[in-house]
Amino acid sequence: MQKEPFKLQGSVLFIEPWNSLNPNIVAGFSTRNGGFSKEPFDTMNLGLHVNDAKEKVIQNREQLSQWIGAPLHTWICAEQIHGDKIAKVSNKDLGKGSTEMETAIKGVDGLYTKDRNTFLFSAYADCVPLYFSAISTQDIIGVAHAGWRGTAANIGGKMINKWISDENIAVEDIVVCIGPAIGECCYIVDDYVIEQIVNSLDGVVTNEIYEKVSPGQYRLDLKAANYEMIRASGVLPEHIEISNYCTSCHSDLFFSHRKSQGKTGRMLSFIGLKDGG
Ligand SMILES: [Zn+2]
């Protein structure tokens, strides 16, 4: 097991190794703590689409914005449709999706930018948050939401290929972090899901990704599946961080869609580059 890259500071998890990589990078994951929402969204629900009181969600987002030093008007949020589309955004998009779903970047599960003071967000309750940056250029950041559908569609690999082809980033330069998500300990899926995952992992090692537990029932390690696909796209293993946190096991820290049978809040992944003088 890798050393846990996410470190709690107050009620927020930050990707610690990336702080030393670039002190201007602000990247991490919210927890369910420190907010204002009532059950079952207690307390730090950041999802606008889960039937929580909107004013509470905005209040929670304001709180997170203070903790991470990123005012709401510098946020950009993806709509998230469990697809594999990725949008390049810029400081012209600032504020989109920050206080209402209607203005979020439509039809995408991945965002990246080359602009500073432009913070990218996506929402989670078990799915895998993927974070991207580049070491030597240090002027590009991205985030992608990978549930089993996004994983099967290889949204992580697609982000990397886009950076290589559209942005001229060398693959040896790319760093990826795989964030807190439901672990293999708590994630049982059926034949249909396993088929989609295995098909997309064609030619990539699959034996450590899932395990049959009974007929038609499998334990799936979504974080490992994303790791293998990101490796397959050429990112160096020493440039990939993986969180050990399982969102279903750690109810003290996280909302879990599975554990709560769908009635729960959302955490946000965030990444941004501040002006560093
Ligand atoms: Zn678990």
What string of H, E and C letters represents the secondary structure of 2-36?
CCCCEEEECCEEEEHHHHHHCCCEEEEEECCCCCC
* Total-model pTM: 0.96
How far, in Å, is the centroid of ligand 1 from the Cα of 129? 16
How far, in Å, is the centroid of ligand 1 from the Cα of 256? 10
CA distance linking residue 181 with residue 125, whole number of Å? 8
Residue 69: pLDDT band (50, 70, 90) is: very high
User: From the CA atom positions of the chain, what is the Rg in Å?
Assistant: 17
How far, in Å, is the centroid of ligand 1 from the Cα of 112? 30
pLDDT of residue 71: 97
Lowest-confidence region among 48-52, 128-132, 206-210, 263-267: 206-210
How far, in Å, is the centroid of ligand 1 from the Cα of 184? 7
How far, in Å, is the centroid of ligand 1 from the Cα of 242? 15
Question: Residue 178: beta bridge partners?
Answer: 130, 242
Token pair belonging to 258: 């599975």
Token pair belonging to 36: 């204002």
Residue 247: pLDDT band (50, 70, 90) is: very high
How far, in Å, is the centroid of ligand 1 from the Cα of 244? 10
Per-residue pLDDT for 8 more than 90? yes
How far, in Å, is the centroid of ligand 1 from the Cα of 75? 31
Residue ranges of domains in the chain: 6-182+223-273
Provide the residue count of the chain.
277
Residue 111's SS3 state is: strand
CB 229 within 8 A of CB 200: yes
CA distance linking residue 103 with residue 95, whole number of Å? 8
Domain 6-182+223-273 has what CATH class?
alpha beta
How far, in Å, is the centroid of ligand 1 from the Cα of 250? 7
Distance of alpha carbon 152 from the chain centroid = 15
CB atoms within 10 A of CB 165: 9
How far, in Å, is the centroid of ligand 1 from the Cα of 62? 30
Within 8 A by CB and 6+ apart from 267, the residues are 29, 30, 31, 32, 44, 46, 123, 124, 125, 180, 247, 254, 255
From residue 270, how far is each of 30, 66, 87, 163 by CA, in Å? 8, 13, 16, 19
Ion ligand 1 residue ranges (Cβ < 5 Å): 183, 185-186, 246, 248-249
Which ranges in 124-217 belong to alpha helices (H)? 148-152, 155-167, 191-200
Per-residue pLDDT for 206 more than 90? no
How far, in Å, is the centroid of ligand 1 from the Cα of 246? 5
Instruction: Tell me the per-residue pLDDT of 71-90, one tens digit each, with 9 for 90 and over.
Output: 999 999 999 999 999 999 99
How far, in Å, is the centroid of ligand 1 from the Cα of 125? 13
CA distance linking residue 64 with residue 56, whole number of Å? 12
How far, in Å, is the centroid of ligand 1 from the Cα of 72? 32
Per-residue pLDDT for 207 more than 80? no
Over residues 107-125, the mean pLDDT reads 97
Q: Is the peptide bond before 43 cis (omega within 30 degrees of 0)?
A: yes
Residue 250's SS3 state is: coil
pLDDT of residue 277: 53
